């Protein structure tokens, strides 16, 4: 059997189009333009790339993008003051403080200073609690994207055995809560799990989010299972030759050994082109959701958990 490849890039384009439709409706029917503020502290190259991509996607969806770039040595108090200003700004419906922050800044303090209703990352402790207790919350973008793809592929997820590999606050734990909310039987596996292959073999749905290139092998997968690969790992690829400076070329791989898994799984997300594009699409979706909720309008259809 060869797995169906779940086209995250194509699906993300559909979600972004849906977002743009909601944005048009908010503007034409209610005179509202959703606004997303992204805050970057320092010059981390990867973060700069992410922040630029987020700003571009926000504008392309018809929303307002507010970018705040602060020096790496910005005092924590100054960052907290900016967050407070954005909390009060009625043009800002979503706030994202790009992580990681410089070491002298307490990330938890900053995240928990964001108005929870503007917390489009879903990292605020109140949103974590709301998700964990099944209340309406802002949901972290990557797990929300995974849930959307799973619902799109399966229809209902009710009664399915799901194994989430990885227990991070950003992906593993919220993913498990979302799957539980859709009535899956959920196991969270991690680096200390005994007989990880045996645990994964039970699953109708596998979500791999451990950050270990190619760890999940094809013979761990139950035939026909759906595999969602959250991993984005850069590895050396000597088969691609060398760069001008003599260094070995690299490529991106997931946490799943794609070549062996695709012969067993029923469906699988590729890396790149799977979960990755869904994360930004869901950030836009969360911004529209935050704008609708702030104005006591109905939940935007198809964009929430």
Q: Give CA–CA dist 79/49, Å, rounded.
A: 21
Catalytic residue among 117, 121, 182, 229: 121
Does 96 help bind ligand GUN (rule: CB under 6 A)?
yes
Q: Measuring CA to CA, how many Å separate 197 from each of 29, 48, 179, 219, 242? A: 52, 37, 20, 8, 35
Does 98 help bind ligand GUN (rule: CB under 6 A)?
yes
Q: Give CA–CA dist 296/298, Å, rounded.
A: 7
Does 297 help bind ligand GUN (rule: CB under 6 A)?
no
Q: Closer to ligand GUN by CB, 58 or 98: give it.
A: 98
Other beta carbons less than 10 A from residue 91's beta carbon = 12
Stretch that binds ligand GUN, among 97-105, 150-158, 187-195, 297-305 (CB under 6 A): 97-105
Q: How far is the CB of 149 from ligand GUN (least distance, A)?
A: 17
Q: Give CA–CA dist 52/65, Å, rounded.
A: 10
Beta bridge partners of 40: 69
Q: Closer to ligand GUN by CB, 97 or 210: give it.
A: 97
Does 286 help bind ligand GUN (rule: CB under 6 A)?
no
Q: Closer to ligand GUN by CB, 226 or 279: give it.
A: 279
Residue 98 catalytic?
yes
Does 121 help bind ligand GUN (rule: CB under 6 A)?
yes
Determine the size of the site formed for ligand GUN (CB under 6 A): 6
What would the two tokens of residue 216 be?
Answer: 């999940």
Stretch that binds ligand GUN, among 79-87, 92-100, 188-196, 221-229 (CB under 6 A): 92-100
Does 79 help bind ligand GUN (rule: CB under 6 A)?
no
Q: Work out which of 26, 92, 97, 208 binds ligand GUN, going by CB under 6 A.
A: 97
Q: Closer to ligand GUN by CB, 98 or 304: give it.
A: 98
Stretch that binds ligand GUN, among 4-12, 94-102, 124-132, 155-163 (CB under 6 A): 94-102
Catalytic residue among 18, 54, 160, 222: 54
Does 232 help bind ligand GUN (rule: CB under 6 A)?
no
Residue 121 catalytic?
yes
Stretch that binds ligand GUN, among 90-98, 181-189, 195-203, 250-258 (CB under 6 A): 90-98
Query: CB–CB of 126/117 below 8 Å?
Result: no
How far, in whole angstroms, is CA 119 from its chain's centroid? 14
Q: How far is the CB of 120 from ligand GUN (least distance, A)?
A: 9
Q: Closer to ligand GUN by CB, 51 or 221: give it.
A: 51
Stretch that binds ligand GUN, among 62-70, 91-99, 152-160, 243-251 (CB under 6 A): 91-99
Catalytic annotation, residues: 54, 98, 121
- Where does this chain bind ligand GUN (CB under 6 A)? 96-99, 121, 141
């Amino acid at each position: 059997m060869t797995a169906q490849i779940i086209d995250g890039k194509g699906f993300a384009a559909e979600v972004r189009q849906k977002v743009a439709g909601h944005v048009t409706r908010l503007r034409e029917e209610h005179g509202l333009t959703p606004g997303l503020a992204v805050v970057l502290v320092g010059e981390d190259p990867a973060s700069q790339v992410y922040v630029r991509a987020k700003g571009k996607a926000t504008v392309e969806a018809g929303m307002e993008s507010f970018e705040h770039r602060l020096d790496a040595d910005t005092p924590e108090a100054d960052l907290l003051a900016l967050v407070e200003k954005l909390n009060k700004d009625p043009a800002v419906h979503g706030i994202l403080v790009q992580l990681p922050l410089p070491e002298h800044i307490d990330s938890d303090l900053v995240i928990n200073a964001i108005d929870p209703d503007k917390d489009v990352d879903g990292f605020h402790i109140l949103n974590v609690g709301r998700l964990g207790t099944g209340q309406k919350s802002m949901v972290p973008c990557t797990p929300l994207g995974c849930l959307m793809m799973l619902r799109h592929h399966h229809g209902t997820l009710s009664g399915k055995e799901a194994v989430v590999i990885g227990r991070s606050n950003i992906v593993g734990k919220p993913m498990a809560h979302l799957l539980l909310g859709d009535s899956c039987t959920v196991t969270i596996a991690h680096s200390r799990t005994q007989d990880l292959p045996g645990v994964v073999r039970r699953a109708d749905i596998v979500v791999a989010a451990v950050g270990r290139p190619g760890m999940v092998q094809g013979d761990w997968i139950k035939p026909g299972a759906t595999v969602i690969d959250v991993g984005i790992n850069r590895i050396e690829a000597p088969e691609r030759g060398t760069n001008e400076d003599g260094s070995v070329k690299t490529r991106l791989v997931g946490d799943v050994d794609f070549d062996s898994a695709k012969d067993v799984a029923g469906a699988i997300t590729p890396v790149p082109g799977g979960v990755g594009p869904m994360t930004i699409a869901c950030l836009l979706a969360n911004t529209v959701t935050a704008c609708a909720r702030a104005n006591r309008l109905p939940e935007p259809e198809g964009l929430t958990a």
